[in-house]
Amino acid sequence: MMIMDRDEQELKSMGLLGIYKESYRLIFRFPKIFTQITLTLILPLSIIFLSHNQVSNILHRRIIHVSTTADDVVSSPLTVYILIKATYFTFLLVFSLLATSAVVYTVACIYTSGDVAAVAFRAVVTAVVPTVWKRLIITFLCTFFVFCTYNFVFLVTLFSVFLFFATFSDNFLVGQAVVYLVLAAYGFGFVYMSVVWQVAGVVTVLEESYGFAAMVRSKGLINAGGMTASLTVIFLTLNAPLAVIGGFFKEFVEDEDYYYFGVVTRIGIGALCLVALMKVILLGLVVQTVVYFVCKAKAAAAGHNGGGAAFGNLDLADRLEGYLGEYYVPLKAKDVVLEEFRV
């Protein structure tokens, strides 16, 4: 099976449904390497995501129990709780960035296969991921700073609105309307910034930019491609299943009120939630990578500088092969088939 036969014109005209269709096409056409990435990186990420609440609840009950019996020793479980939280977020971040770098690189290799090396899964994990994820951490920290600043400004604004109407106005309806407008603006801004962060992760892997520069580049691609509305829908539709799976797992696996569920039933439900979560995370990572190429194609079609070719770009191919080092083995375009990647 030959690698994708997609011309740039199709990417330029690709909409919301087209992006999802293209993402599914990639996953099902090259199942081997995506399965390897899923089992190696996304599986532990999913386990951490689902098991976090259970561990936190156990420690929380322990803290409450100790606090009611001996106030002077409550610091011990509280310290453990804080350490568990810190460890959870650290591992969640690490595996999230590792999975992002692996999936983004793999999808980019598919699009540029005529000019890039054949890549074994071992090469992706040992050569590409360790190089890329450090840049992703810098981009994440910059994004985290922006989000903290944004939330701080929002809280100050909300407090100022409350203070103003409490001091200078007794019109409750007007005050309520203003609060709702502030909340709506905050929600839209939060979603938009989240979309920028997701595309910035792809930019960090595939371009020279990282950190704040990657965020600026991401924002420019999204705006130039006119993809803000579509990406907002994508963000919501991909995050809604995460919330549903997490809630379902908490309700039917963690919640002890469902005492009539046997151990085997709980394990079965937990396994289904785990599999569903892995699939959603993989799809989300592939989607955000496809979005990057679509934005690039649309930006280039609109005549914006820096758009560049969506794929088949020599600069991108050179960058991808540069990650491989000793694993780089040039192939002819007709010989590039992901099913023949060595493991």
Could you read off the pLDDT of 99-112 as tens digits, one per residue? 888 888 888 878 77
208's CB contacts (< 8 A; 6+ apart) are 319
Q: Do 334 and 113 touch, CB atoms closer than 8 A?
A: no
pLDDT confidence tier of residue 60, bands split at 50, 70 and 90: low
pLDDT tens-place string over residues 186-218: 998 999 998 898 899 889 888 888 889 989 998
Residue 159 class from Cβ within 10 Å (0-12 exposed, 13-18 middle, 19+ buried)?
exposed
pLDDT band at 282 (very low <50, low <70, confident <90, very high): very high
Q: Would you say 316 and 108 are in contact if contact means Cβ atoms under 8 Å apart?
A: yes
Confidence of residue 338 (pLDDT cuts 50, 70, 90): very low
Segment holding 312, helix H or strand E: none
For 77-95, the pLDDT digits (tens) are 667 667 777 777 888 888 8
Lookup: tokens for 116 = 């890039």
pLDDT in tens, 221-263: 888 877 888 888 888 888 888 888 888 887 777 766 655 566 7
Instruction: Give this prediction's pTM.
Output: 0.78
- pLDDT for 32 beyond 80: yes
Most confident of 27-41, 166-180, 300-314: 27-41
Name the more confident of 321 and 288: 288
Q: What is the mean pLDDT of the chain?
A: 75
Residue 328's pLDDT is 45
pLDDT tier at 275 (50, 70, 90 boundaries)? very high
Q: Are 100 and 292 in contact (CB under 8 A)?
A: no
Q: How far apart are CA 194 and CA 184, in angstroms?
A: 15
Domain coordinates of the chain in residue numbers? 31-326
Those residues whose C-beta lies under 8 Å from the C-beta of residue 203, and which sit 6 or more positions away, are 209, 210, 214, 217, 218, 221, 292
Task: Give percent above pLDDT 70 in the chain.
Answer: 68
Angle of the 129-168 helix axis to the 172-206 helix axis, nearest 10: 170
Give tens-digit pLDDT for 109-136: 787 764 334 456 676 766 677 777 788 8
Cβ contacts of 118 within 8 Å, gap of 6 or more: 329, 331, 335, 336, 340, 341, 342
